[in-house]
Chains A and B, each alone.
Chain A
């Protein structure tokens, strides 16, 4: 338990310091490197929360694709003299962000969360979340204290099952969105008259 806590606080410090760096560092190239550091820290948070599949997707898509795209964009469009300068809205922006932060933290602290641990369900959720990557052994699930019905439920459940079962409509809509984005990206990159 103390190990999880220690990893959590290290990741929290890395993520927050990294995001401050992304916003404040003047050199955009360094900012994009810090951004990939934040992405990796968020992937670490996902592993801590038993979302291993999401952690892999995070590293593949964010660090592997988006951060590299950012670095390409910085190298191709670099404004060497100016860098990452602030605009005139700096003070109102800081005010709005601080206000929102105070409001969110106050809401989180004052809300009375009924967590899964309180409902005695933490163990089951842990087992169900392992489903994101593979099918577990029935004997181990029984040993974890699940009844026979729950074992079948867990074994047929999982991220893929939800994606092409209950969430099949948003899944198809997202595939259409990706097609539209690909065509739009081509049209934008091609430019006018060429």
Chain B
């Protein structure tokens, strides 16, 4: 386990999520892929905070946790995003009777 291997694992998960977000038709599957990408970014941030610290702040030990603070914010934003995203899914499902993104591409009812 090293910084490089952790970053590569996160990159693989991110690219799988990117493929899923671009190539799926189902609204919910696209949201799941976006969650995968959020998780990969969190992994990268925590790994950077675990193994690297900016040279200027090495003297102050509490700044070691900066990466984790960023990850906490990302988790919060992801939770808000998923609550609203699923609300939109239900709104689209009510008007279109399907959760297919190609049906919903016009964005009007």
List chain B residues, Cβ under 8 A from A8: 1, 5-6
With contact pairs A93-B23, A97-B16 given, residues A170 and B73 touching in the complex (Cβ less than 8 Å): yes
Name 30 interchain pairs, CB-CB below 8 A, sorted by A: A35-B36, A38-B39, A45-B6, A49-B46, A50-B50, A66-B79, A76-B93, A82-B100, A83-B26, A84-B29, A87-B102, A89-B23, A97-B22, A100-B15, A104-B7, A104-B8, A113-B51, A115-B3, A115-B51, A116-B52, A125-B61, A131-B62, A153-B61, A174-B76, A178-B79, A181-B80, A184-B84, A184-B87, A185-B84, A188-B90
Question: B: which residues have CB within 8 A of A?
Answer: 1, 3-9, 11-20, 22-26, 28-29, 31-33, 35-36, 39, 42-43, 46-47, 49-53, 58, 60-66, 68-69, 71-73, 75-84, 86-91, 93-94, 98-102
Question: A: which residues have CB within 8 A of B?
Answer: 4-5, 8, 12, 15-16, 19-20, 22-23, 28, 31-32, 35, 38-39, 42, 45-46, 48-51, 53-54, 57-58, 61-62, 65-66, 69-70, 72-74, 76-77, 79, 82-87, 89-90, 92-94, 96-98, 100-101, 104-105, 108-109, 113-117, 119, 121, 124-125, 127-129, 131-132, 150, 153-154, 156-159, 161-163, 167, 170, 174, 177-178, 180-182, 184-185, 188-189, 191
